[in-house]
């Protein structure tokens, strides 16, 4: 069984046409047919069958196809890792991130890193808190930014890069909009707009309200940061969000106000797998992040 036979099989199975597959592979149609026939003879089953001018994948062919796609994906990823070891200044780093870090911190750190290492590529994947943790564990991504940082997971190596405050976002016509700071208890009678149940930032917001002595009245929910800011802009309610999400701008018709008591914060950092070695390019980026935020902390 040869790799080219498996690649030919995938191409024909997906296109359901030998001629089109051969043209895309830039090889002769007879070569494709011959290699697939050899593959079927070795396996002792028919993977493909002709239906008129087209090709249909047999039932066992569909099962074999899924395993072949997975196997070749693993082989291609393995080759990428070998290339990265040969040249740590190149390669592709697969990074996961939540929506709350997408607009400010992620672009800034990647831009700063690429000034020193311009040949490294980044593959970015946004996802939920739980998805990012699972994706790092199963190798779908190499590392992930998270806030808050899970410090007790036995399968992860976690590093806190900085702590940030949670602030109140109020409609500009709110009675407390002219305040520089407020007590969270001052908002006990306001409707809140928060993330849905299961989102970490909702848990932080609800926990802060409970510490202030009340259960928030959640009037609306939004699944991303821009949706929540838009709801506040529309006067639907108030929200509690990480301060860094306002570094670039504050939405129209809203006001950001610091929370004096109780202080609500979250840790922000990076996670990598504890039981799987990461490639040199990923180690370089991981170390860069630690040094980058250490410098920021020293110059505060």
pLDDT at residue 102, as a whole number: 86
Instruction: Determine whether 228 is exposed, middle or buried from the number of CB atoms within 10 Å of its CB (0-12, 13-18, 19+).
Output: buried
- Quick one: tokens of 285? 């980026």
- Strand 156-171 vs strand 239-242: parallel, antiparallel, or unpaired? antiparallel
pTM recorded for the entire structure? 0.71
Same fold, 92-161+267-298 and 164-266: yes
- The CA distance from 56 to 211, in Å, is 62
pLDDT at residue 84, as a whole number: 65
From the CB of residue 92, how many other CB atoms can be counted at a distance below 10 Å? 18
pLDDT at residue 86, as a whole number: 63
Cis peptide before 98 (omega within 30 of 0): no
| CATH architecture for residues 92-161+267-298 | 3-Layer(aba) Sandwich (3.40)
pLDDT surpasses 90 at 91: no
- The CA distance from 4 to 39, in Å, is 10
Going from N- to C-terminal start, the domains of the chain cover: 3-85, 92-161+267-298, 164-266
pLDDT digits (tens, 9 = 90+) for 19-66: 888 888 889 989 988 999 999 999 999 999 888 778 888 999 899 999
Radius of gyration of the chain (CA): 26
pLDDT surpasses 70 at 129: yes
Nearest one of 140, 100, 84, 114 to 227, comparing CA atoms: 100
Q: How confident is the prediction for the chain on average, in pLDDT? A: 90
pLDDT surpasses 90 at 100: no
pLDDT digits (tens, 9 = 90+) for 150-208: 999 999 999 999 999 999 999 999 999 999 999 999 999 999 999 999 899 999 999 99
pLDDT at residue 296, as a whole number: 84
Q: Which residue has the higher pLDDT, 33 or 297?
A: 33
| The CATH number of domain 3-85 is 3.30.70.100 | no
Give the mean pLDDT of 86-104: 82
For the domain made up of 164-266, the CATH class stated in words is alpha beta
SS3 255: strand
pLDDT surpasses 90 at 92: no
């Amino acid at each position: 069984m040869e790799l080219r036979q498996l690649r030919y099989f995938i191409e024909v199975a997906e296109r359901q046409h030998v001629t089109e597959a051969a043209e895309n592979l830039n090889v002769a149609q007879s070569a494709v047919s011959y290699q697939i026939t050899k593959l079927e003879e070795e396996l002792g089953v028919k993977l493909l069958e002709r239906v008129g001018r087209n090709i249909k994948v047999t039932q066992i062919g569909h099962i074999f196809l899924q395993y072949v796609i997975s196997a070749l994906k693993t082989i291609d990823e393995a080759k990428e890792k070998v290339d990265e070891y040969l040249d740590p200044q190149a390669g592709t780093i697969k990074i996961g991130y939540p929506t709350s870090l997408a607009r400010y911190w992620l672009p800034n750190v990647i831009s700063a890193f690429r000034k020193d290492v311009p040949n490294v590529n980044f593959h970015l994947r946004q996802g939920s808190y739980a998805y990012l943790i699972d994706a790092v564990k199963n190798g779908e991504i190499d590392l992930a930014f998270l806030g808050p940082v899970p410090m007790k997971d036995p399968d992860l190596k976690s590093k806190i890069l900085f702590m940030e405050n949670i602030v109140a976002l109020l409609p500009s016509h709110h009675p407390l909009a002219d305040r520089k700071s407020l007590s969270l208890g001052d908002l006990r009678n306001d409707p809140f707009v928060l993330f849905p149940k299961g989102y970490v930032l909702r848990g932080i917001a609800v926990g802060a309200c409970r510490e202030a002595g009340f259960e928030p009245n959640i009037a609306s929910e939004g699944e991303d940061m821009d949706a929540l800011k838009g709801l506040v802009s529309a006067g639907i309610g108030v929200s509690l969000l990480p301060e860094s999400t306002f570094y670039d701008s504050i939405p129209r018709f809203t006001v950001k106000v610091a929370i004096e008591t109780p202080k609500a914060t979250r840790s922000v950092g990076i996670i990598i797998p504890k039981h799987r070695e990461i490639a040199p390019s990923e180690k370089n980026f991981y170390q860069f992040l630690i040094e980058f935020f250490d410098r920021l902390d020293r110059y505060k």
